[in-house]
C-alpha cells in the first residue's frame, strides 16, 4: 500500500485563540478497518470509517497537535496531522518618541512602535507611514515562539520646517499569506514638527524708516520660528516693554534707533530699525525749482504757497528782486540773463514772525564755439617700432589724437565722446564743479590701427548733458581719418615654380600689399625687364629661366622669385594595348594610333632595325611567332613641323615550368628534453625544384600541408630568360600526425590585369620517426604447469618498425618477431625482449614461474583466485597507457638540429 489513505478537511487552518475548531478525517479506502483522533483534548475512540471529526469548542492551546490514525486490515497503522496556527491580535499598538521630546530641524530622531501581546510573531508585519505614504516595512523571523510576545520597530526620521506638522503612523497586522484569513491592521498615529530658531521674514536685518516730525509711526518686526518666538523692543537703549511683532511710537520728534529681538529656546535674531525724523519744511514751492538757461536768454521762476500761516513773501536777488507781497504767488523775472552764477531766493514771513527761504538751482550754459581734432604726432610711426597686441603677431600703427573744445560752460556738464567708424570707443566727462564761467577743454585718444582696417574715421563729439530731465542740446563734432602704414607683403609663397608648355605665352604675377602702395621691378636671369606693375608678360617661352619681382615702399621691400620650368611638348601617340603578357612562341600585335592632324609619317622600329613607314593616323606591329625574351619595338611619329617622338609598349614574355618536383634533403629528430625520448617530432628538410620558367620575378611558390598553406615564396630576380629555381621547406612532423601530405605549387602571377595561368604542383608524403615504445609493463607468468607450452608477447610501437631480439636467462633465443614460443617449459626463467630501431631501443622483462605437476590443484586454485586481480591489473594498465598517449599528444617540444642527432643508437644497443 502506497501512502496513508486519510484525508484531512481542512489540512491547514488558522484559528483565533479561544475560538472553536473542527477538522474532519475521512477515507475512501476499503482496506481501513477503523480510525480515530489522538489529541491532548478533543480526541475520539476507535470508530468505523469513512469519517471521524476532531472538535474543540474553545481552543486555548498555542501548539495543538492532534493526529488522525487509521488501522488497516493487515493490522498496520498510519497517521496524518493537520497544520494548526493559533493567533492572537495585539492588545495595543503605540508610538513613542523614546523620550527625546521636540525635534530640531536637521537632526535625526528615532520613533518606536510597540506591539503588545501578539502571536505568533513570525506572521506580524509592521508598516510605517509618513502622511499616509508607506516608508518602511518590517517583519520578524522568530519561527519557534508560538505564544504571545511584545515586539518593537524603530523608525529613524529627519524633518524640515517646510513640512510643518508631519503625521507618522505605525500599523501592525497578522499576515498569513494570500489564501489565509485577512485580519484588520491595528495602528497608532504620532504627529511631529521641526523646531528651529527664529528667522526674519525679510532678508535685511537693518531698515531705514523716514517719518515727518510730530507724526505717529508703527515699526514692524516679522519673524518665523518653531516654537513661535517671543519679541522684545529696545529704542536707544530703553526697553519699550512691548512683546509683539510691532511697536507704536506717537508724535515722533527726533531720530532714534530701535532693535527688535525675536527669541525661542533654540536661539534669537535681531532686527535694527533706524528712524529718521524729518523736520517740517518751509511752505514755499518754486516753479521750476531747477532750470537751465542759455547765457543772455530770459528767465522767470514762480514762488507760491498754500499755507494759511504765511503773512507775506518776496524775492531777494542782485537783479530782478521784488518787494514784500501778499501770498500766494510772487515771480522773479530777468529779460536777459548775463550772470554766470545768479542766486535769487524767495522768502516767506510767517504769522508767528519767523521767516524761511528757498532758492532755485539755476544753471547758465554756453555751447562750444569750436570742436577740432588734430594728431599729436604728425609723422606716422613704423609698425615695427610700436607695441604688439598680446598673443597676436599682428602689428599696428599707433596714433595720439587730441580734441579741443573752445569756450564752453559750465564744464562739469560737458561730455566728450570718441567714435571709431560710428562706434563709441571712449567717453570722458569733467569733475570741475566750481568753475561756472567759460573755459577751453581737451580730450586725448590713443588709437592702434591695423592694416586690415585701411582708412578709419574717428569723430570727436562734445555735448552739454544736463541729465535725463534736463535740456537736450545738440552735440558739436569733427571727423578725422587715419590709416596704418606698413612695408610690402606678398600673400603667396616667396618662391614659386611654374611649368608652362614650350612655346606658349605666359603672365607672371606678383601681388603685394602695403601702405603706401608698393612700386614693382622685374628682372629675369639678371636682366631688367623694364616692368613696374605687378605682372610680367613673356611671349613664346622657349627656355627655363628665373624671374624676380621686388615690391618697394618707404618702409621696406619684399622679393618674390618665380622659377619657370619649360615642359616639352608631349608625344601624341596611343598604343593598344600599351602593356601585354605573351607566351614565348605565340603571335602578338599592337596598334599605334594618333590624334594629331599634322602627321608627316608614322612607323614601328623593331630590334632588328626594321622600319615600316606609313602616312595616316595608325600603324600596327605584328609578329606571328614571338621568339624574343626581351622584345623592344617602339612606335615613332614625325609631325609637319619636324617634331619627332616615340613610345614603347611593355611586353612580358613568359614560359610556364617544365616540371615541379619535391626531393627530401635530410631529416632529423627533435626532442622535448634530451633525456626524455617519449615526446619527439621529426624534422624534414624538403626542396621543391621548378625547371625552366620565365620570367622568375612573377613566380610564386606555395607549400601546402594537408591542403593548408604553410609557406609562400616569391623572387626578386629581374632575369627575363628561363631559369631553374628552388624553394626549401623545413617542417616538423609529430607521430600523432601519422602520414602527412606536403604539396609544392608553382604559379606565374601577373597581377589582376594579367592572364590567369594554371598552377603546377607535386605531392610528397612524410611521417614522423620515433624510438620504440612498449605498450605494456614487465609481467609475470605465475604457476605454469611443468611441461606446458607458452607464448610470450612483446608489442612495441616505433617508426621505422622495431627489430626484436629475445633472450632467456642470458641465452639468445634467435627470435626476431614480437612473440616467443617456448615448448614444454620445465623450469622457472626470466626472458627479455628488446625492440630497436635507429632512434633507440626498449626492453621488456617477463618472469616465468613453473610449478611441478604435483601442485596442479594448488596452481588451479591459485589461477582461479588470481584471475579477477589479473583482469583488474590489465584494465588499469590499458587506462594508464591511453592517458599517457593522450598526454603525449598535448606535450610541448623543443627543436634539436638534425646535425646534432646521430642516426645510430645512443644507448649502446643495436
389 pLDDT more than 50: no
Structural domain boundaries enclosing 817: 770-889
Q: Does residue 793 sit in the same domain as residue 816?
A: yes
Residue 908 belongs to a domain: no
Q: Does residue 109 sit in the same domain as residue 68?
A: no
Mean pLDDT of 318-325: 88
The residues near 258 (Cβ < 8 Å, ≥ 6 apart) are 219, 233, 234, 235, 236, 240, 247, 272, 273, 275
Residue 902 belongs to a domain: no
Task: Return the higher-pLDDT residue of 123 and 389.
Answer: 123
Mean pLDDT of 123-150: 90
Nearest to 408 by CA among 448, 442, 361: 442
Q: Does residue 814 sit in the same domain as residue 865?
A: yes
Mean pLDDT of 283-306: 92
Q: Does residue 378 sit in the same domain as residue 454?
A: yes
pLDDT of residue 827: 84
% of the chain surpassing 90 pLDDT: 36
Q: If DSSP states are collapsed to H, E and C, what string results for 85-148? A: EEEECCCEEEEECCCCCCEECCCCEEEEEEEEEEECHHHEEEEEEECCEEEEEEECCCCCCCCC
pLDDT of residue 319: 87
The region of weakest confidence among 220-234, 570-584, 662-676 is 662-676
**pLDDT per position as a tens digit, 536-582:** 999 878 789 999 999 999 889 999 999 999 887 778 889 989 889 99
Model confidence at 852, pLDDT cuts 50, 70, 90, reads: confident
Q: Considering 144, 164, 196, which residue would you say is the last residue of a domain? A: 196
pLDDT of residue 226: 84
State how far the alpha carbon of 43 is from the alpha carbons of 40, 66, 199, in Å: 7, 8, 75
Q: Does residue 384 sit in the same domain as residue 455?
A: yes
3-state secondary structure of 176: coil
State how far the alpha carbon of 610 is from the alpha carbons of 375, 607, 633, in Å: 88, 7, 10
**How many other C-beta atoms can be found within 10 angstroms of the C-beta atom of residue 790?**
16
pLDDT of residue 378: 45
Q: Does residue 885 sit in the same domain as residue 775?
A: yes
815 pLDDT more than 50: yes
pLDDT of residue 19: 93
Q: Hey, what long-range contacts does 47-51 have (CB within 8 A, 24 or more apart)?
A: 50/26, 51/24, 51/25, 51/26
Q: Considering 546, 564, 582, which residue would you say is the last residue of a domain? A: 564
898 pLDDT more than 50: no
Model confidence at 396, pLDDT cuts 50, 70, 90, reads: low
501 pLDDT more than 80: no
CB burial of residue 101 (10 Å; 0-12, 13-18, 19+): exposed
Q: Does residue 428 sit in the same domain as residue 478?
A: yes
pLDDT of residue 560: 92
887 pLDDT more than 60: no
Task: Return the higher-pLDDT residue of 869 and 271.
Answer: 271
386 pLDDT more than 50: no
Residue 737 belongs to a domain: yes
Q: Does residue 828 sit in the same domain as residue 845?
A: yes
Residue 491 belongs to a domain: yes
**Which H or E run includes 70?**
strand 67-72
Q: Does residue 135 sit in the same domain as residue 153?
A: yes
Indicate the length of the chain as a whole number. Answer: 910
Q: What is the pTM of this model?
A: 0.36
CATH of the domain at 835: 2.60.40.10
Residue 820 belongs to a domain: yes
Decide if 846 contacts 831 (C-beta within 8 A).
Answer: yes
**pLDDT per position as a tens digit, 325-369:** 998 999 999 999 999 999 999 999 887 677 888 999 999 999 999
Model confidence at 843, pLDDT cuts 50, 70, 90, reads: very high
Q: What is the mean pLDDT of the chain?
A: 83
Q: Does residue 739 sit in the same domain as residue 816?
A: no
Q: Considering 172, 196, 220, which residue would you say is the last residue of a domain? A: 196
Rounded Cα distance, 654 and 508, in Å: 52
Give CA angle at 104 (99, 108), nearest 5°: 70
Model confidence at 907, pLDDT cuts 50, 70, 90, reads: very low
Mean pLDDT of 485-506: 82
Q: Does residue 155 sit in the same domain as residue 78?
A: no
Q: Does residue 641 sit in the same domain as residue 683?
A: no
381 pLDDT more than 50: no
902 pLDDT more than 70: no
State how far the alpha carbon of 35 is from the alpha carbons of 40, 123, 908, in Å: 17, 34, 93
pLDDT of residue 903: 33
User: Is the peptide bond between 695 and the residue preceding it cis, with omega within 30 degrees of 0?
Assistant: yes
Residue 897 belongs to a domain: no
Decide if 187 contacts 113 (C-beta within 8 A).
Answer: no
The region of weakest confidence among 338-347, 363-372, 818-827, 886-895 is 886-895
705 pLDDT more than 60: yes
Provide the greatest CA pair distance for the chain: 182
Task: Return the higher-pLDDT residue of 324 and 494.
Answer: 324
% of the chain surpassing 70 pLDDT: 88
pLDDT of residue 313: 93
Residue 253 belongs to a domain: yes
**Which H or E run includes 612?**
strand 611-614
pLDDT of residue 777: 63
398 pLDDT more than 90: no
Model confidence at 35, pLDDT cuts 50, 70, 90, reads: very high
The region of weakest confidence among 511-525, 555-569, 876-890 is 876-890
Using the structure block, give the residue that is written with the C-alpha cell 594448488: 858
pLDDT of residue 806: 92
pLDDT of residue 854: 60
- Domains: count for the chain: 9
**pLDDT per position as a tens digit, 414-471:** 999 999 988 998 999 998 889 999 999 999 998 887 777 777 888 999 999 888 877 7
Q: How far is CA 684 from the centre of its chain?
A: 54
Mean pLDDT of 731-735: 83
Using the structure block, give the residue that is written with the C-alpha cell 635530410: 666
**pLDDT per position as a tens digit, 194-205:** 788 888 887 776
Decide if 660 contacts 673 (C-beta within 8 A).
Answer: no
Q: How far is CA 851 from the centre of its chain?
A: 87
Nearest to 124 by CA among 140, 147, 113: 140
Residue 45 belongs to a domain: yes
Q: Where is mean pLDDT largest: 45-59, 213-227, 349-363?
A: 45-59
Decide if 202 contacts 237 (C-beta within 8 A).
Answer: no
Amino acid at each position: 500500500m502506497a501512502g496513508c489513505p486519510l484525508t484531512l478537511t481542512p489540512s491547514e487552518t488558522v484559528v483565533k485563540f479561544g475560538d472553536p475548531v473542527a477538522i474532519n478525517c475521512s477515507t475512501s479506502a476499503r482496506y481501513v478497518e477503523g480510525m480515530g483522533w489522538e489529541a491532548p483534548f478533543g480526541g475520539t475512540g476507535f470508530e468505523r470509517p469513512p469519517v471521524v471529526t476532531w472538535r474543540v469548542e474553545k481552543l486555548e492551546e498555542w501548539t495543538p497537535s492532534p493526529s488522525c490514525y487509521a488501522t488497516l486490515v493487515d493490522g498496520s497503522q498510519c497517521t496524518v496531522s493537520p497544520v494548526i496556527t493559533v493567533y492572537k491580535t495585539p492588545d495595543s499598538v503605540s508610538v513613542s518618541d523614546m523620550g527625546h521630546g521636540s525635534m530640531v530641524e536637521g537632526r535625526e530622531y528615532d520613533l518606536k512602535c510597540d506591539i503588545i501581546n501578539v502571536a505568533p510573531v513570525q506572521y506580524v508585519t509592521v508598516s510605517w507611514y509618513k502622511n499616509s505614504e508607506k516608508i518602511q516595512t518590517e517583519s520578524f523571523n522568530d519561527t519557534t515562539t508560538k505564544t504571545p510576545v511584545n515586539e518593537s520597530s524603530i523608525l529613524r526620521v529627519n524633518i524640515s520646517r517646510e513640512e510643518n506638522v508631519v503625521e507618522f503612523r505605525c500599523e501592525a497586522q497578522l499576515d498569513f499569506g494570500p489564501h489565509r484569513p485577512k485580519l484588520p491592521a491595528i495602528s497608532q498615529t504620532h504627529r511631529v514638527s521641526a523646531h528651529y530658531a527664529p528667522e526674519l521674514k525679510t532678508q535685511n536685518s537693518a531698515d531705514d524708516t523716514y517719518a515727518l516730525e510730530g507724526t505717529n509711526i508703527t515699526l514692524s518686526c516679522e519673524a518665523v520660528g518653531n516654537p513661535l518666538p517671543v519679541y522684545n523692543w529696545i529704542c536707544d537703549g530703553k526697553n519699550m516693554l512691548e512683546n509683539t511683532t510691532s511697536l507704536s511710537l506717537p508724535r515722533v520728534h527726533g531720530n532714534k534707533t530701535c532693535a527688535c529681538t525675536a527669541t525661542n529656546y533654540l536661539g534669537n535674531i535681531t532686527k535694527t530699525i533706524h528712524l529718521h525724523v524729518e523736520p517740517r519744511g518751509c511752505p514755499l514751492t518754486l516753479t521750476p525749482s531747477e532750470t537751465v538757461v542759455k547765457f543772455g536768454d530770459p528767465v522767470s521762476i514762480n514762488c507760491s504757497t498754500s499755507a494759511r500761516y504765511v503773512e507775506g513773501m518776496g524775492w531777494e536777488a542782485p537783479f530782478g528782486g521784488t518787494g514784500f507781497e501778499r501770498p500766494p504767488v510772487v515771480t522773479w523775472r530777468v529779460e536777459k540773463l548775463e550772470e554766470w552764477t545768479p542766486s535769487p531766493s524767495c522768502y516767506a514771513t510767517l504769522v508767528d514772525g519767523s521767516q524761511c527761504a528757498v532758492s532755485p538751482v539755476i544753471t547758465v550754459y554756453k555751447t562750444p564755439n569750436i570742436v577740432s581734432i588734430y594728431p599729436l604726432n604728425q609723422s606716422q610711426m613704423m609698425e615695427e617700432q610700436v607695441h604688439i597686441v598680446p598673443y597676436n603677431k599682428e602689428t599696428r600703427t599707433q596714433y595720439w589724437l587730441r580734441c579741443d573744445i573752445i569756450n564752453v560752460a559750465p564744464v562739469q556738464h560737458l561730455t566728450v565722446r570718441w567714435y571709431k567708424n560710428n562706434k563709441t570707443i571712449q567717453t570722458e566727462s569733467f569733475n570741475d564743479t566750481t568753475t561756472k564761467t567759460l573755459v577751453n577743454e581737451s580730450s586725448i585718444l590713443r588709437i592702434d590701427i591695423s592694416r586690415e582696417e585701411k582708412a578709419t574715421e574717428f569723430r570727436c563729439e562734445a555735448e552739454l548733458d544736463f541729465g535725463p530731465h534736463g535740456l537736450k542740446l545738440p552735440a558739436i563734432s569733427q571727423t578725422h581719418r587715419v590709416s596704418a602704414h606698413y612695408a610690402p607683403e606678398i600673400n603667396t609663397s616667396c618662391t614659386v615654380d611654374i611649368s608652362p608648355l614650350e612655346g606658349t605665352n605666359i603672365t607672371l604675377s606678383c601681388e603685394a600689399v602695403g601702405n603706401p602702395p608698393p612700386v614693382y621691378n622685374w628682372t629675369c636671369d639678371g636682366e631688367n625687364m623694364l616692368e613696374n606693375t605687378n605682372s610680367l608678360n613673356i611671349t613664346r617661352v622657349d627656355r627655363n629661366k628665373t624671374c624676380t619681382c621686388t615690391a618697394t615702399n618707404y618702409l621696406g621691400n619684399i622679393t618674390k622669385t618665380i622659377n619657370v620650368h619649360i615642359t616639352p611638348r608631349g608625344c601624341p601617340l596611343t598604343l593598344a594595348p600599351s602593356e601585354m603578357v605573351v607566351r614565348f612562341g605565340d603571335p602578338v600585335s599592337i596598334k599605334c594610333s594618333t590624334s594629331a592632324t599634322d602627321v608627316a609619317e608614322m612607323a614601328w622600329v623593331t630590334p632588328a632595325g626594321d622600319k615600316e613607314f606609313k602616312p595616316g593616323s595608325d600603324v600596327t606591329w605584328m609578329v606571328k611567332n614571338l621568339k624574343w625574351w626581351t622584345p623592344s619595338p617602339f612606335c615613332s611619329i614625325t609631325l609637319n613641323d619636324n617634331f619627332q617622338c616615340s613610345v614603347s609598349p611593355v611586353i612580358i614574355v613568359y614560359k610556364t615550368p617544365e616540371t615541379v618536383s619535391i626531393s627530401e634533403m635530410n631529416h632529423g629528430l627533435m626532442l622535448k628534453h634530451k633525456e626524455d625520448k617519449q615526446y619527439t617530432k621529426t624534422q624534414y628538410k624538403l626542396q621543391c625544384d621548378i625547371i625552366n620558367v620565365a620570367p622568375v620575378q612573377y613566380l610564386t611558390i606555395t607549400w601546402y600541408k594537408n591542403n593548408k598553406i604553410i609557406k609562400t615564396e616569391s623572387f626578386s630576380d629581374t632575369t627575363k630568360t628561363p631559369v631553374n629555381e628552388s624553394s626549401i621547406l623545413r617542417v616538423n612532423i609529430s607521430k600523432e600526425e601519422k602520414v602527412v601530405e606536403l604539396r609544392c605549387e608553382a604559379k606565374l602571377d601577373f597581377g589582376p590585369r594579367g592572364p590567369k595561368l594554371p598552377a603546377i604542383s607535386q605531392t610528397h608524403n612524410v611521417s614522423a620517426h620515433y624510438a620504440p615504445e612498449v605498450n605494456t609493463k614487465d609481467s609475470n607468468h605465475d604457476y605454469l604447469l611443468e611441461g606446458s607450452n607458452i607464448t610470450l608477447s612483446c608489442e612495441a610501437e616505433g617508426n621505422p618498425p622495431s627489430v626484436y631480439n629475445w633472450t632467456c636467462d642470458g641465452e639468445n633465443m634467435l627470435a626476431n618477431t614480437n612473440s616467443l614460443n617456448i615448448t614444454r617449459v620445465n623450469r622457472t626463467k626470466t626472458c627479455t625482449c628488446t625492440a630497436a630501431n635507429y632512434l633507440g631501443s626498449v626492453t621488456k622483462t617477463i618472469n616465468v614461474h613453473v610449478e611441478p605437476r604435483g601442485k596442479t590443484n594448488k596452481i588451479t586454485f591459485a589461477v582461479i583466485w588470481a584471475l579477477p586481480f589479473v583482469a583488474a591489473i590489465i584494465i588499469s594498465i590499458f587506462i594508464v597507457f591511453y592517458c599517457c598517449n593522450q598526454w603525449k599528444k598535448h606535450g610541448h617540444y623543443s627543436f634539436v638540429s638534425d646535425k646534432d642527432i646521430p642516426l645510430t643508437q645512443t644507448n649502446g644497443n643495436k
